[in-house]
């Protein structure tokens, strides 16, 4: 039987593959070349964790310790070029896997910060950066205002997942149970947000301060 | 009576609040949602110092050591959504506080590099990064060419402030006096530049090298 | 007679000057001011190596150890404002020097990672980041989709150069010979790609996943 560590590792690989593949589609919408597709896939899937590690001085960063992640995400992005025409049939699957990635990356990020004895707010921030910064890098490299800042309950899901995770651990529940509950609630929130089009209110300001 | 340390700390809090609030207005001009507003506020106010710390290997970065800064800047950005309609009456105040932030962040950045025994040029660069990089991150996340590269005496004020600060310390003046003089001269230069519309000449080049 | 170390150092200085000058032209096409031109020159020429050092925890970063690099690249960018009108006559020279920079930065990046006992894939990635990330930062700061992701054999040249360099060292050839061969092959590949307009196929995708 698989332990929870192994299950989380397999989920992690699925999540970085899903992130790399959706980034590859974004690259295709910008008419990037094959190399650009692979690079954008790697940066999107691994950039959030790398930024967290650099900010928290947590070395080696994930892909330095596990270089195979670079290969997995690069190959996944490249494969997307071939199978892109079939991917809109799998639209729901990819949105689901992207949501799995969001909550899983968040839990991993919280866990790294807890391992470094960081205070509560930094633990939440670490989860948020790990879960969301890869997509921000993708959008910046596509010269777009990051989707994270504009739409949908995405950062909110990450913060909610992190809060549940930390609360569970502080209340003395087991790591496995806490992880399962935090990820399930976060995933449900994200899926409901997608299903019902929930989003944060927008702040519209038209004047110039200068 | 307050010591100079306390005065500088209060000024620092005022400056990161002002930076977060002006960033929130930039977010509003891009129609970001409430989460985006808060995130852009945090990144703008704390990003320059974080980049400096990462480049100089000066850990923990400021918001890891003082997580309350994340709360202060996030709340300040959020509050801006409510009070934005009144802020154009306070336009001059915000430009003034932004200028205070520029010179204060510069002095802090120089000081960090001096504490790490960095050579002169790196001290100046550290002040410049601390003072200006937050605004660059803000503009990049708004998918705009950074204002710093396009307009006004902003980087110049930072470099001038840094040079005066270093010169004062090397000439043996007290830290308090040097800080006060460097900040006052930098602040005056920035305000004069705003008042009289001083700016660097532009470099206009129309040919393509490729 | 000059040793190979000295030759490489002189080549490095020429390469960062060339990178800073081409970045200055990009700044001019965006009508940046003089300060923006100098800053963009420094960031483009030194940003790739800085990003590599931060990701690999290899401190101090190059310009902290050699602050003169900041002066050299800043002055080179500034000088470009004066001589820009003559530079289109030197178009081929600059494309050549840019190519020299690409392969030289790649070899330097591989070398840093080898010195840190990094695995093969990380060595290649380190060469790629060192050779290419400066240009990516330049394009992001110009609010453009990075050229690296869109056009020409650029990243490919870097990866090819890195692979030859590593293969040569593993096969037991001397460091000087390996460096010379890797750089020559990479340079030839880049020049042929420019001459014959070789480029990677593009990935064009028009549907939205969301």
Which residues from B are below 8 Å from C72, CB to CB? none
Q: What is the mean pLDDT of residues C27-46?
A: 94
User: What confidence tier does C24 reach under pLDDT thresholds 50, 70, 90?
Assistant: very high
- Each residue of B18-34: pLDDT tens digit? 999 999 999 999 999 99
* Model confidence at B147: pLDDT above 90: no
User: What confidence tier does B1 reach under pLDDT thresholds 50, 70, 90?
Assistant: low
The answer to whether the Cβ–Cβ distance between B155 and C35 falls below 8 Å is: yes
- Each residue of A181-204: pLDDT tens digit? 999 999 999 999 989 988 888 888
Residue whose structure tokens are 């020049």 = C191
- Each residue of C121-145: pLDDT tens digit? 999 999 999 999 999 999 999 999 9
Q: How far apart, in whole angstroms, are the C-alpha atoms of residue C150 and residue C199?
A: 9
Q: Can you read off the two tokens belonging to residue A52?
A: 């967290």
Who among B25, B33, B88 is closest to A200 (CB)?
B33
- Within-domain flag for B207: no
Q: Does C140 touch chain A (CB under 8 A)?
A: yes
Q: Does A59 touch chain B (CB under 8 A)?
A: no
The secondary structure of residue C90, as a DSSP letter, is G
CA distance C191 to chain B (A): 13
- Within-domain flag for A63: yes
In chain B, the residue whose alpha carbon lies closest to the alpha carbon of C77 is B203
Q: What is the ipTM of this complex?
A: 0.93
Lowest mean pLDDT among A113-122, B137-146, C87-96, C162-171: C87-96
User: What was the pLDDT predicted at C85?
Assistant: 84
User: What was the pLDDT predicted at B151?
Assistant: 74
Q: What is the 3-state secondary structure (H, E, C) of chain B?
A: CCCHHHHHHHHHHHHHHHHHHHHHHHHHHCCCEHHHHHHHHHHHHHHHHHHHHHHHCCCCCHHHHCCHHHHHHHHHHHHHHHHHHHHHHHHHHHHHHHHHHHHHHHHHHHHHHHHCCCCHHHHHHHHHHHHHHHHHHHHHHCCCCCHHHCCCCCHHHHHHHHHHHHHHHHCCCCHHHHHHHHHHHHHHHHHHHHHHCCCCCECCCCCCCC
Q: Does B144 touch chain C (CB under 8 A)?
A: yes
For A12, the domain range is 4-196
- Within-domain flag for A45: yes
The answer to whether the Cβ–Cβ distance between B145 and C142 falls below 8 Å is: yes
User: What was the pLDDT predicted at A67?
Assistant: 97
* Model confidence at A210: pLDDT above 70: no
- Within-domain flag for B172: yes
* Model confidence at B209: pLDDT above 90: no
Who among A56, A144, A145 is closest to B64 (CB)?
A56
Q: What is the mean pLDDT of residues B160-175?
A: 96
* Model confidence at A53: pLDDT above 60: yes
User: What was the pLDDT predicted at B167?
Assistant: 97
Who among B22, B67, B142 is closest to A119 (CB)?
B67
- Each residue of B58-88: pLDDT tens digit? 999 999 999 999 999 999 999 999 998 887 7
- Within-domain flag for B114: yes
Lowest mean pLDDT among A147-151, B198-202, C46-50: A147-151
Q: What is the number of structural domains in chain C?
A: 1
Who among B24, B29, B33 is closest to A150 (CB)?
B33
The answer to whether the Cβ–Cβ distance between A88 and C207 falls below 8 Å is: yes
Q: How far apart, in whole angstroms, are the C-alpha atoms of residue B58 and residue C157?
A: 35
User: What confidence tier does C149 reach under pLDDT thresholds 50, 70, 90?
Assistant: confident
The answer to whether the Cβ–Cβ distance between C150 and A36 falls below 8 Å is: yes
Q: What is the mean pLDDT of residues C6-22?
A: 91
User: What was the pLDDT predicted at C123?
Assistant: 97
User: What was the pLDDT predicted at C208?
Assistant: 67
Q: How far apart, in whole angstroms, are the C-alpha atoms of residue C22 and residue C44?
A: 9
- Within-domain flag for B202: no
* Model confidence at A3: pLDDT above 60: yes
Who among A40, A61, A84 is closest to C149 (CB)?
A40
- The chains found to touch C (3+ Cβ pairs under 8 angstroms) are A, B
Q: Does C177 touch chain A (CB under 8 A)?
A: no
- Within-domain flag for C207: no
User: What was the pLDDT predicted at C78?
Assistant: 96
In chain C, the residue whose alpha carbon lies closest to the alpha carbon of A90 is C209
- Within-domain flag for A209: no
Q: Does A126 touch chain C (CB under 8 A)?
A: no
User: What was the pLDDT predicted at C86?
Assistant: 82
Who among A140, A155, A200 is closest to B141 (CB)?
A140
User: What was the pLDDT predicted at A209?
Assistant: 54
The answer to whether the Cβ–Cβ distance between B64 and A54 falls below 8 Å is: no
* Model confidence at A142: pLDDT above 90: yes
Query: Count of CB contacts below 8 A, A vs C?
Result: 101
| Residue B208: CB atoms within 10 Å | 10
Interface test with A, best of B64, B68, B140, B154 (most A CBs within 10 A): B64
Whole-number mean pLDDT of chain A? 92
Q: What percent of chain C has pLDDT over 70?
A: 98
Lowest mean pLDDT among A98-102, B40-44, C117-121: A98-102
């Amino acid at each position: 039987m698989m332990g929870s560590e192994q299950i989380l590792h397999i989920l992690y690989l699925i999540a970085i593959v899903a992130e790399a593949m959706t980034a590859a589609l974004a690259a295709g919408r910008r008419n990037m070349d094959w190399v650009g597709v692979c690079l954008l896939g790697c940066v999107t899937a691994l950039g959030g964790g790398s930024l967290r590690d650099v900010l928290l001085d947590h070395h080696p960063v994930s892909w330095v310790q596990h270089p195979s992640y670079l290969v997995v995400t690069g190959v996944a992005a490249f494969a997307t070029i071939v199978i892109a025409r079939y991917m809109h049939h799998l639209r729901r699957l990819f949105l689901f896997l992207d949501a799995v990635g969001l909550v899983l990356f968040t839990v991993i990020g919280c866990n790294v910060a807890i391992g470094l004895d960081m205070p509560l707010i930094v633990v939440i921030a670490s989860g948020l950066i790990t879960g969301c910064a890869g997509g921000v890098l993708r959008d910046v490299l596509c010269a777009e205002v990051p989707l994270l800042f504009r739409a949908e309950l995405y950062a909110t899901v990450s913060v909610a997942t992190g809060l549940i995770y930390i609360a569970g651990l502080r209340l003395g529940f087991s790591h496995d149970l806490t992880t399962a509950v935090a990820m399930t609630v976060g995933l449900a929130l994200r899926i409901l947000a997608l299903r019902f089009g929930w989003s944060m209110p927008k702040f519209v300001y038209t004047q110039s301060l200068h």
